[in-house]
Amino acid sequence: MIKKIAVTDVVLGMYLVEIHGSWLHHPFWKSNFLLEDPEDLSKLKSSGVPSVSVDLSRSKLSDSKPRPRPESREKPAITELRPAPAEKRTSFESELRHARRLCEQSQNEVLSMFSEARMGQAVPLTRAAQVVEEINSSVTRQPQALITLARLKTSDNYTYMHSVAVSALMIALARELNLDDGKVRVAGMAGLLHDVGKMAVPDAILNKPGKLTDEEFALVKSHPVKGAEILERSSGVDDKVIEVCLHHHEKFDGSGYPNGQAANQISVIARMAAVCDVYDAITSDRPYKKGWPPSESIQRMVSWSGHFDPKILQAFIKVVGIYPVGSLVRLKSQRLAVVIAQSEGSLLKPVVKVFFSTRTQLPLPQQILDLSKSSVDDAIECREPLENWNFPYLNDLWQEAG
């Protein structure tokens, strides 16, 4: 017998089956377990989560312990994604603080979900929906913070952080394309689960630093089909999510895989995923390749004729900018700066932080310039190749304000 009760009524010996409220405040990465540790009970009660669902038939309560008081039946357990209240726009610096915590927790949650998929279990959609809702809220408040932060990965967490990053990019792109809220959330879910099929590929192959053999590459290329099979076994997965999992490696000219679909044969949401997936992959460090700078990545993607839907790629560039956050640029004043935000006025005139003189070869007092302002007498001359400089602290420059 499952009942939803207030957290204040929870006692040791109860079997928890669901934790309600904002996923970001959940104190555990599991939701189905017997509550036996007093420390876990303390964490739960201090977490701010309002209620939980317990399975009384699996609980181990002594007669001396109080029985839970069920909540009103007018407040059913949340079993599906509900529209969230409108989010207020926040600054990049403010949202960056929240995004750091969100990246850490969502990475762990994706790791847990994918591990269950690897063991042959169904994908826990309620948990996935909660992750998507938190990502959606962050992107709605300030799209650049989470998108930029999620680009920073290690080889150990690449697959899981890549899923978070693509989910955020898909949500931001869906909003740029003026899709309704329901389709925005489906896009976010598709981004989160698009690579679940990689759980059928050994880590030694996924993380191999050298060139793959033909057999290994064939196994990697099987992950879209394997992922679609995993999702089809999970009840309630939207068909569009499965479609993205199966077709995110198709190319607009028909040269992709697994089915060689082309142009309008590929669904709009799969065309969106192709752009988001590639951008995050090529900007991330991998065991076999160092990631390209964000602005160089955009430039290369534009040059790959036939790879992407041109209209969707143009919309994506509006999301991340011609000079995405973290790009190193040279100004006409011969100063180097890192892009720290996009301006409202122009894709070519972002907000930058000046920090180095190419004339003197010395650091400068850091200065923030919004190049879109008429009062600023400077402009970007070109993208500056990172390999020309040894700036180990470049990522710190756009993060430190947050």
Of 15-29, 49-63, 282-296, give the range with the top mean pLDDT: 282-296
Distance linking the first and last C-alpha atoms of the chain: 46
Say which range, 17-26, 33-42, 212-221, has the weakest mean pLDDT.
Answer: 17-26
Q: Are residues 161 and 241 in the same domain?
A: yes
Say what the pLDDT of residue 40 is: 80
Residue 377 belongs to a domain: yes
Residue 79 belongs to a domain: no
Q: Residue 291 belongs to what domain range?
A: 92-320
Q: Are residues 100 and 196 in the same domain?
A: yes
| Strand ranges across the sheet with 51-55 | 2-6, 51-55, 15-19, 33-34
Q: Are residues 311 and 339 in the same domain?
A: no
pLDDT digits (tens, 9 = 90+) for 55-113: 887 888 765 444 454 444 333 332 333 444 455 677 777 788 888 888 888 888 898 88
Q: How far apart are CA 277 and CA 241, in angstroms?
A: 14
DSSP letter (8 states) at residue 397: H
Q: Are residues 303 and 360 in the same domain?
A: no
Q: Are residues 196 and 309 in the same domain?
A: yes
Q: How far apart are CA 235 and CA 125, in angstroms?
A: 9
Rounded to whole angstroms, what are the CA distances from 225 to 199, 246, 280? 12, 6, 21
pLDDT digits (tens, 9 = 90+) for 313-372: 999 999 999 999 999 999 999 999 999 988 877 889 999 999 999 999 999 999 999 999
Let me know the angle formed at the C-alpha of 24 by 160 and 200, rounded to the nearest 5 degrees: 20
Q: What is the mean pLDDT of residues 264-289?
A: 94
Q: How many domains is the chain built from?
A: 3
Please name the residues in contact with 207: beta carbons below 8 A apart, sequence gap of 6 or more: 155, 158, 287
Angle at which helix 158-176 crosses helix 268-282, to 10 degrees, equals 130
Q: Are residues 211 and 277 in the same domain?
A: yes
Say what the pLDDT of residue 97 is: 82
Do residues 378 and 331 touch, judged by C-beta distance below 8 A? yes
Residue 105 belongs to a domain: yes
Average pLDDT, the chain: 86
Q: Are residues 273 and 391 in the same domain?
A: no
Residue 290 scores a pLDDT above 70: yes
Q: H or E segment at 94?
A: helix 92-118
Domain end among 291, 320, 349: 320
Provide the CB-side half-sphere exposure for 26 (13 A, CA): 23
Q: H or E segment at 177?
A: none
Residue 306 belongs to a domain: yes
Q: Are residues 367 and 302 in the same domain?
A: no
Rounded to whole angstroms, what are the CA distances from 182 to 133, 178, 187, 322? 11, 11, 9, 28
Q: Are residues 100 and 246 in the same domain?
A: yes
Q: How far apart are CA 386 and CA 356, in angstroms?
A: 13
Say what the pLDDT of residue 402 is: 45
Please name the residues in contact with 158: beta carbons below 8 A apart, sequence gap of 6 or more: 207, 284, 286
Location of structure tokens 């189905």 = 32
- Partners of 370 in the β-ladder: 351
Q: Are residues 206 and 340 in the same domain?
A: no
The more confident residue out of 153 and 11 is 11
Q: Are residues 282 and 392 in the same domain?
A: no
Please name the residues in contact with 352: beta carbons below 8 A apart, sequence gap of 6 or more: 329, 331, 337, 338, 339, 340, 368, 369, 371, 380
Q: Are residues 41 and 139 in the same domain?
A: no
Percent of the chain with pLDDT over 70: 89
